[in-house]
Amino acid sequence: MKRIGWAIGAVVWAVSAQAAEVSVAVAANFTVPMQKIARLFEADTGHTATLAFGSTGRFYAQIRHGAPFQVLLAADDDVPARLEQEGLAVPGTRYTYAVGRLVLWSKRPGVVDERGEVLRRGAFDRIAVADPKLAPYGQAAVETLSRLGLYDALKPKFVQGENIAQTHQFVATENALLGFVARSQVEVDGRLTEGSAWPVPPHLHAPIRQDAVLLQKGRGQSAATALLAYLRGDKARAVIEAHGYGF
């Protein structure tokens, strides 16, 4: 029994000795699934993921100014590619971990119809849209309204969020009757959590490919490389899909 106890203790010590921490910059739209994935990651590997959430545009600026992030989970594929070109990300580590989906949402049932015709009727004072210069979901919203021929008419009604989390908050608190948010923020397992929504048809905007990349500060760090590998695994992909993302 003593030998068994010693052996178990040695295994626990070895695992804890190898465990490390990874600092991750996470696009705001991916907050809830990443929180779940981080818990699974720690339970399965012993590594800890320290998460910061925000707009991809702001993370880009922070990384360029030396922020200590080791991994970036962006809301687009442009910023990771730029960081790679600028020598701030490790070449060959970039890949698409999820494809985002845009939805027009209101906290109130019956406000948003299944075809999005509420946009043409314009019977609302404010519509929440993420800053298109900082947030890819905001850019997708602007592209959608432009293709529908409604951008000029609705722009004066914009309530602009710095990122998609703040944009969702505007609608959730009814500071705006409706707004363009990430589908992952209002659905779980394909079911709307509350209110009314119109899933925006993908042909109305460019694909929202969300790329992950290993940053230079994560080079050679075991927890950083382990996290990028874990995101490709079945457990992480199941969480990602359950929250309304594609691949």
Inside any domain, residue 163: yes
DSSP H or E stretch at residue 7: helix 2-18
pLDDT of 14 reads 42
Do 123 and 162 lie in one domain? The reply is yes
Which string of b and e fits 147-168 if b means at least 16 CB within 10 Å? eeeeeeebeeebbbbbbbbbbb
Closest C-alpha to 26, from 49, 50, 47, 54: 54
pLDDT of 83 reads 98
Do 142 and 182 lie in one domain? The reply is yes
Inside any domain, residue 216: yes
List the CATH number of the domain containing 141: 3.40.190.10
Q: Are 145 and 231 in contact (CB under 8 A)?
A: no
Do 81 and 109 lie in one domain? The reply is no
Inside any domain, residue 46: yes
The total number of structural domains in the chain stands at 2
Q: In what order do the strands lie in the sheet with 196-199?
A: 158-161, 127-130, 178-182, 102-106, 196-199
Per-residue pLDDT of the chain (247 residues; tens, 9 = 90+): 444 444 434 333 344 447 899 999 999 889 999 999 999 999 999 999 999 999 898 999 999 999 999 999 999 999 999 999 999 999 999 999 999 999 999 999 999 999 999 999 999 999 999 999 988 899 999 999 999 999 999 999 999 999 899 999 999 999 999 999 999 899 888 889 999 999 999 999 999 999 999 999 999 999 999 999 999 999 999 999 999 899 8
Q: For residue 89, give the 3-state DSSP assignment.
A: strand
DSSP assignment of 31-50 equals HHHHHHHHHHHHHHHS-EEE
Give the number of other Cβ atoms within 10 Å of residue 8's Cβ: 10
Tokens of 200: 């925006």
Angle CA(104)–CA(206)–CA(137) in degrees, nearest 5? 45
Q: Which domain holds residue 173?
A: 102-199
Inside any domain, residue 17: yes
Do 84 and 127 lie in one domain? The reply is no
pLDDT of 71 reads 98
Inside any domain, residue 247: no
Give the number of other Cβ atoms within 10 Å of residue 32's Cβ: 16
